[in-house]
Amino acid sequence: MTNKPHPARGYLFIAAATFFWGFSATLGRAVFTGRLFAGGHALRPIDPLILAQSRTTIALLILLPILLLKGRSSLRVQSSSHLLQFFLLGILGLAAANYFYYFAIQKTSVATAIVLQYVAPVWVLLYMLARRLQRPTLRRVSAVVLAVLGCGLAVGELAAQRGFPWLVISGIRFDTLGVVAAELAAISFAFYNVFGQHLLQIYQRWTVLVYSLLGAAVFWQLVNPPWKIIAQHYTGGQWLFMAVFSVTSMLVPFSLYFTGLQHLDPTRAIVTACLEPVWAILLTAFILGELVSPMQVVGIVVVLSATILVQRPEREDLREPLIAVEPIE
């Protein structure tokens, strides 16, 4: 049984996922800078590593009982090899992307980490071309380049200048380990786009999500055991924030993103994911009152142009439309 994907629907699902990621980035920035209040007091900053770990684990603890109440169909796995693939997606995709991203922030800066992480569309496109799953069309390559440039402009890491090459890198905090970590985050981001779509051709999104979360949660328990978290003596307000953060940054957006991946190829999906820094900038300006520079506006427009450009069907798409296997219920 086959099910024809709906690209416009996939675009909307992934755009919605990036909104939640952008909103979560604003929440994270607020708590890191002491501008998030609970009970009349500013929440004490939470270690980024624990925030990454808690959002995965709490999301799993919320989703798993819901799926059990609905029935065990979402938890059925065809083979142990598929279970291993789910764990690889969770560890090498979800957990690794978070870990290396936060490590890059620690060694460089938030803006630098974002720019380097959002080179991910290039990695996805190179993989798709190397496997001959797509052709290097002008529209597809242009969309990827515009998405990367737009992210750089939006977060303030690229600046305009008179004369060739008209754009220069500014504000980069270079650190070898930080740069390597950011690129590993980009590769992990690219990996769960490609590998996640492969699994979504076989299983429904809830199966993929719950087992990838389980793999990531197990990984985090090994990296940062529970007694280290208990030793932090977090307050009730901080735990409430982590619970909300796990829903807005992990559970809801990844369920939307995996739904979108059922309708879009990895290149289109990851270029659309570049809307995340756009939402983060706009929501930070609206909620925290931070100003948006003219160059950031240009970057936002460039990213939007890239996401629109990449959604337009290619001739090869019209000739051989993507057909997805009906996921196992």
Yes or no: say if 123 and 186 are a contact pair by the CB < 8 Å rule.
Answer: yes
pLDDT digits (tens, 9 = 90+) for 177-187: 878 888 898 89
Tokens of 141: 């390559």
Residue 82 identity? H
Give me the pLDDT at residue 164, please.
54
Measured CA to CA, the distance from residue 153 to residue 169 in angstroms comes to 10
Give me the pLDDT at residue 316, please.
53
Q: List b or e across 187-225, with b for residues whose CB sees 16 or more CB atoms inside 10 angstroms.
A: bbbbbbbbbbbebbebbbbbbbbbbbbbbbbbbbeeebe
Q: Residue 191 — very low, low, confident or very high, per pLDDT cuts 50/70/90?
A: very high
How many CB atoms are located within 10 Å of the residue 68 CB? 12
Q: Residue 169 — very low, low, confident or very high, per pLDDT cuts 50/70/90?
A: low
Residue 132 identity? R
Residue 3 phi, psi (nearest 5):
-140, 115
Q: Residue 16 — very low, low, confident or very high, per pLDDT cuts 50/70/90?
A: very high
Give me the pLDDT at residue 195, please.
92
Task: Flag the least confident range among 151-155, 179-183, 220-224, 305-309.
Answer: 151-155
Beta-ladder partners of 216: none
Q: List the alpha helices (DSSP H) in 71-225.
A: 80-88, 96-107, 110-117, 120-130, 138-154, 176-200, 205-223
Measured CA to CA, the distance from residue 230 to residue 246 in angstroms comes to 18
Measured CA to CA, the distance from residue 102 to residue 196 in angstroms comes to 22
Closest CA to 25 of 110, 135, 136: 110
Longest dimension (CA), the chain: 63
Measured CA to CA, the distance from residue 54 to residue 245 in angstroms comes to 9
**Mean model confidence pLDDT for the chain:** 80
Give, to the nearest 10 degrees, the angle between helix 7-32 and helix 236-246. 160
Q: Which residue has the higher pLDDT, 28 or 273?
A: 273
Q: Which whole-number Å values give the CA distances from 159 to 112, 145, 167, 218, 314, in the listed order?
A: 13, 16, 6, 42, 32
